[in-house]
Structure 1
Amino acid sequence: MDPVAALRRIAFLLERALAPSYRIRAFRTAAAQVAAMAPGEAERRAAEGTLEAVKGIGPKTAGVITEALAGQVPAYLERLEREATETAVAEHEAAGGVDGRLGRVASPGALALRGALRGDCHVHSEWSDGGATIEEMAVTAAELGHEWAVLTDHSPRLTVARGLSPDRLREQLDVVERLNTTWAPFRLLTGIECDILEDGSLDQEPELLDRLDLVVVSVHSKLRMERRAMTRRMVAAVRHPRANVLGHCTGRLVTGRGRPESEFDAAEVFAACAESGTAVEVNSRPERLDPPRRLLREAVAAGTLFAIDTDAHAPGQLDWQVLGCARAAECGVPVDRVVTAWSAEQLLAWTREGRVPEAAATG
C-alpha cells in the first residue's frame, strides 16, 4: 500500500470524525515528508529503523509507513475504516441532544439526495480558519465526486478566523484562476463567507463581491441581538443583490457547551429569501445542524431555494453532506430547489443573472 495514501486517508477519517487537530496534522505532515523523499528513501529508512529521525515523523506515523511499505493495510487505518462514519457522527449529535439515529443519517431519501448533489457552496481553506491548503480541499472534493465547489473563506471583520482583507482576497482570486487550469473537469468557484454587519450590510468591498462567483452571507457577531433588530439585519442582507446563500441562519451549536439559536422572525426572513432568490443553507456540520428541523420545514413552505453545504474546514469534513441530506430529506426539501444539485453552469447563471433551472422555477 502506498504510505502517502495511507497517511492521507487516516487524516481524512480523523477530520471526518472531528478528531483533535494536532492528531490530524501529524498524519498530514508525515504524508508530506514521505512524498518529498527521494525514490527508495522511505524503504531504506523503514529497513534501517530511521524513519523517526525525519522531522515530522513520529512513532505512530512511522509504524503506519512501515506497515504500508510491507504491503499491509496499517492497523490504525484498518481500525478507523471499521468505525462507521455515520455512527461516529451520530454519537456527536446524540451528545448534543439531537436525534442522530443511524437510520436517519443513511435513509434511502438521504442517500438519493446525496447522490443528486454536484457541489458544495461553503468550503474553507488555510487562507482563513481552515486546516488545509486550497489544493487539498479541491482535490478531495473532486475525489468525493464533486463537479465543483466554492471556496468561501471568511471576510475581513472576522479577525479571529483570519478573515481575508481585500488585497488578500484579490491574491486568492489569482491563485484559484491559476489552479483551475490543472483540475478540469473539476472546477473550484470563487466565493466568500461574508459577515452580515449589524446594519445588514456586507463585510467586503462591492467591487470584489461583484467579481466572485458566489457569496454566502452569515451572522458571526452579536448573535444575541434583539429579535426585531436581528430580523431587520438578516432581511437586509439576504436582499443584497450579491447575496446568494444565507449561511447557518440560527448560529446555534448543539455539541459541547452549545450555543442557543439567534432570535429572529423566520417567516419574514425566509419570505425575503424566497422573494430575492437567496438560498437557505442546510449546514451539515455535526455541531451546527442548522437550521433546526422546524425552521427547515418553514423554509420549504416559504418556497426558498436551498444549498446543502458542509462548511468544511478540513478535507475529511467535505464528506459530511449526507448529514445535511438526511435532514433535508426528512423535512421535504425538493431536490429541484437544491442549488448544490445544479451544474456549475446552472449555478453561475443563477448567481450572475438570477436565472434558475426551469424545474426549480416551477417546482
Structure 2
Amino acid sequence: MADPRDPVADLKQIAFLLERALEPSYRVKAFRRAAGTIAALPAAELAQRTAAGTLTELAGVGDVTARCVTESSAGEEPVYLRRLLATEDTPLDESTAAIRAALRGDCHAHSDWSDGGSPIEEMARTARGLGHEYLVLTDHSPRLTVAHGLTAERLEQQLDVVAELNATFAAEAAAGAAEPFRILTGIEVDINEDGTLDQKPSLLGRLDLVVASVHSKLRMPAREMTPRMVAAISNPHTDVLGHCTGRLVTGGRGKRPESEFDAELVFAACAQFGVAVEINSRPERLDPPKRLLRLAVEAGCLFSIDTDAHAPGQLDWQRNGCERAARCGVDVSQVVNSWAIADLLAWTAGRSVPAR
C-alpha cells in the first residue's frame, strides 16, 4: 500500500483550484467544509471510517468528498484533483511570466471581516504559499454596508488581529519553518461623492496602504466623476486607485459599463501625486481596459497588479493582470508590488520611489 497523502491538504487544494477557475461557490464550500470536518477528526477514527466506508455519515462530507478522502488516505492522488490539475493552466508567455515572477505581494485582498469568504489567516497562508512576501489586507470601509464594511472600531480590532498573526509568522520564519511573510494593514476605502475618503483620516494614517475606489453613483456624469476622482487621488492617504472604471465584463453580477471620466486628467493626477493605478486582475473586471492602461503608461503612472481576491483561490489571479501589463508595455520597475517590502512602505509613507 502506498504511503497515505494528507486528505485535508488535498481537499483544500481542490477548493483552491475551483476558486481560481471561478467555479460556483457552493462547490468550493463543499470541499472546504469537508476539509474542516476531516481536520477535526482523530486519526484513528478517520482510518476506521475510511475502511468502513462511513465517511458520509459525518456532517459536511458527501459522496464526492468522501471518495477524495478515501483515495488520498490510500496514497492515491484523488481523481477529482488530478483532473483539475490536468486542465488548470495555460502556459504564460515569456513577458507575462517575467512580470509575474517579479511580484512580491498583492496590495488588494479581502477577508471574512467584510465581504470575503475566508479568515485573514487562511488568506495570508495561501498568499505565502504562492511565494508572496506580503499581502495587504484591504477590507471595505463602513459606507459599503452591503459588503459589511469596517467601522473605525472594527478596523482597530482588525489591526490587533493582524499584529498577532504577524508575530506568529515571524516566529515560524525564525524557526526555519517558513519563508518570511507579513500581512500589511490596509483598507479599500470608498471614494465619497465629494471626493473625500470613507474613513477617519487619523485611522487611515495608521495603515500601511490605502486603496481608494468608487463603489457608488458609478453612472455619474464625467464632469462630476472626474473632480471626484482627482480629489481622492490628491488625498495624501491614497496610495492606489482601485478598479478605476468600475466596469464588469462578465460574471454572476452581470455586465456593467465603464464609469465616464477624463482619463488623461485622472492619470495625470496619479502621476503627479505618486498614486498607483491598479491593474485589477479579477476576470469580471480586468480594469482598466487596455486602451486606458496604455494611456496610464504614457502618463508615467505607477501601477499595482492586484487580485482583489475575496477567497484563497483567487489570490492566484495575478496572472490576468500580468498578461495585460505585458501587452500594454508596463515597465515592471513601475509596479509597486514588485518592490521589496521596505521600499513599498517607504513609498506609502512618503512617496519615495526606489532607485532602479
TM-score bracket, shorter-length normalisation: over 0.9
Instruction: Indicate yes or no: 2:12 matched with 1:8.
Output: yes
RMSD, aligned CA: 0.9
Alignment equivalent of 1:261, drawn from 251, 258, 270: 258
1-side partners of 2:305 and 2:344: how far apart? 13
Q: What are structure 2's unaligned runs of at least 5 residues?
A: 171-179
Q: How does 1:281-320 map to 2 (within 5 A)?
A: 281-320=278-317
Q: How many pairs are equivalent? A: 341
Deviations 1:158-202 (A, max 9, x none): 111111111110110000000001113100000000000000000
Deviation at 1:66, TM superposition (A): 0.7
Alignment equivalent of 2:201, drawn from 203, 206, 227: 206
Partner of residue 235, structure 1: 230
Partner of residue 22, structure 2: 18
Partner of residue 145, structure 1: 131
Deviation at 1:358, TM superposition (A): 1.4
2-side partners of 1:294 and 1:85: how far apart? 27
Deviations 1:254-305 (A, max 9, x none): 1143110000000000000000010000000111000000000000010110
Partner of residue 273, structure 1: 270
Deviation at 1:246, TM superposition (A): 0.2
Instruction: Indicate yes or no: 2:190 matched with 1:195.
Output: yes
2-side partners of 1:149 and 1:188: how far apart? 5
Contact 1:16 1:85 in 2 (8 A): no
Contact 2:142 2:150 in 1 (8 A): yes
2-side partners of 1:151 and 1:219: how far apart? 18
1-side partners of 2:139 and 2:348: how far apart? 18
Q: How does 1:110-189 map to 2 (within 5 A)?
A: 110-184=96-170, 185-189=180-184
Instruction: Indicate yes or no: 2:35 matched with 1:40.
Output: no
1-side partners of 2:78 and 2:338: how far apart? 36
Deviation at 1:29, TM superposition (A): 1.1
Deviation at 1:39, TM superposition (A): 2.3
Letter in 1 for 2:164: R
Q: What are structure 1's unaligned runs of at least 5 residues?
A: 87-101
Instruction: Indicate yes or no: 2:347 matched with 1:350.
Output: yes
TM-score (norm 2): 0.94
Letter in 1 for 2:167: T
1-side partners of 2:88 and 2:35: how far apart? 24
Deviation at 1:238, TM superposition (A): 0.7
Partner of residue 215, structure 1: 210
Letter in 2 for 1:170: E
Letter in 2 for 1:67: E
Partner of residue 176, structure 2: none
TM-score (norm 1): 0.93
Identity %: 65
